Amino acid sequence: MNNKIEGKIELSESPDFEKTHQNLENLIQSLEMNEEEMNLLTGEIHDTFEDVHFELLPSFDEAGDLAIKTEAPMDQATHDDPLMLSFTLSEADSIDLNELMEVAVPLIFRFDGEGDMWIVDHPEETLFRFNRINDHKVVHSFTIPKGSEKYCIGFPGNLILDEEGCLFVLDLVQQTIHKFSGEGEYDNDFQDHLLAASPMISVRDFDLFREERLLVVSDFLRSSVKKISLEGMDMGEVILREGPAPQAFECATGVAALPGGRYFVVDPVKMAVLELDLEGHRIGGFFFNDRSRREMPFCFLMEKSPDRHLFLVDFKSQSLHAYDTNGAIKGVFQVGPNSSTPELSLGFFDFMGQGKLYFLDPRSCRIHCLLYHFEA
């Protein structure tokens, strides 16, 4: 064997794995070795590159939101996939926000009971703008300063409209809820009651029991759900991690309240959904199926549809999965590079009647209409 090698390849200094691997193979071919020596060396190199496994851990960004640094492998969606066929894009019903108003960074939108739409925009670094749209026209608008003081919003993570037209804004930075009238008047009493209640550490999502006039708010780090009246009174808290095994929860993100006094909570670590009643008793739940485990590494948000399905979204992987309340997966919708719609991006979403979901594409400033139909 010729031991004289003019160059030395440093693997740790190569930014390109494939190029380094090819250089090694070229080097091997240039050496004068017998068959036994060749088999020994190529076997060692094969083991070096193929048997190395990495596990990436989640980390927190500056705003405190959990961010997965790399996406889990996703299957290429095909038109033959029956779960993908549950959804159909209806571009005729899509909404171009730039045609309605001057929009900069749309964050959240909601439909109210009368069919009007509220859109939260971030036009300036120090402001959030709330726009109410009726019949494709902005009929009312008000702005709220961005900041950490009272009457300011740190960053809106969700928006709920009650029957009286009041707006409830979940603040992911200040770890609170703000209440405004439809005209933009701040509810001081609501905020004062919240300040007197036990603090929330890392709120992630909330929903509204309309008949009970009760908000349910998930707290990620406390692994809990807090109940708050529409007047801001603390109505109790359910600590999910104190429940019995094997369903003990690690954390809580998405929450969805269904009529009849039951609600569902997502644990993205256990990859499970828990069903509880208003008293906090566990009455059901399910684990994600294998496909959701691959395609939704961190489920952040959950919404209920008018036909009582649960829609779970992972913004990092741009995946939207629908389940029935018994845990059967009913539909899958994906956008981005690994999908049949690579030009789209998936942001906040809401429903306009049964079978009609709208989602925000923040890059194009459009709200797309997604029709869905699930087989019984």
Q: How confident is the model at residue 114 (pLDDT cuts 50, 70, 90)?
A: confident
Domains in the chain: how many in total? Answer: 2
Asked if the structure places residue 119 within a domain, the reply is yes
Q: Burial-class residue 23 by CB neighbours within 10 Å (0-12, 13-18, 19+).
A: middle
Same domain, 38 and 118: no
pLDDT 10s digits, 116-164: 999 999 999 999 999 999 988 999 999 999 998 878 999 999 999 999 9
Give the sign of the dihedral formed by CA 248, CA 252, CA 256, CA 259: positive
What's 175's domain CATH number? 2.40.10
CA distance 208 to 247: 25
110 part of a folded domain: yes
Whether residue 44 is found in the same domain as residue 108 = no
* Domain contains 106: yes
Q: 242 pLDDT band (50/70/90 cuts)?
A: confident
Position 206 scores a pLDDT of 97
Determine the average pLDDT of the residues in 153-178. 95
- Quick check: pTM over 0.95? no
Which of residues 154, 181, 196 is at a domain's end?
A: 196
The residue among 196, 215, 232 that closes a domain is 196
Between residues 279 and 28, which one has the greater pLDDT?
279
The answer on 105 and 44 residing in a single domain is: no
Segment 115-129, tens digit of pLDDT: 899 999 999 999 999
Has residue 329 been placed in a domain?
Answer: no
Range of the domain at 27: 11-50
Q: Say which DSSP state 37 is in.
A: H
Residue 42 has pLDDT above 90, yes or no: no
Is residue 183 included in any domain, yes or no?
yes
- Whether residue 116 lies inside any domain: the answer is yes
pLDDT digits (tens, 9 = 90+) for 5-36: 344 334 344 444 454 445 445 544 544 444 54
Residue type, 332: V
Shared domain for 189 and 104, answered yes or no, is yes
What digits encode the pLDDT tens for the residues 325-352? 999 999 999 999 888 899 999 999 999 9
Q: Are residues 109 and 190 both part of a single domain?
A: yes
User: Which is more confident, 174 or 27?
Assistant: 174
Q: Could you tell me if 107 and 186 lie in one domain?
A: yes
What does the pLDDT average to over 107-112? 96
Instruction: Say whether 186 sits in a helix, a strand or coil.
Output: strand
Q: What is the DSSP letter of 376?
A: -
> Does residue 95 fall inside a structural domain?
no
Distance CA 59, CA 195 (A): 29
Calculate the alpha carbon distances from 234 to 126, 199, 206, 225, 296 in Å: 30, 10, 14, 11, 33
Select from 169, 196, 223 the last residue of a domain: 196
Distance CA 215, CA 27 (A): 66
Whether 36 is in a domain gets the answer yes
Minimum mean pLDDT range among 50-64, 218-232, 323-337, 344-358: 50-64
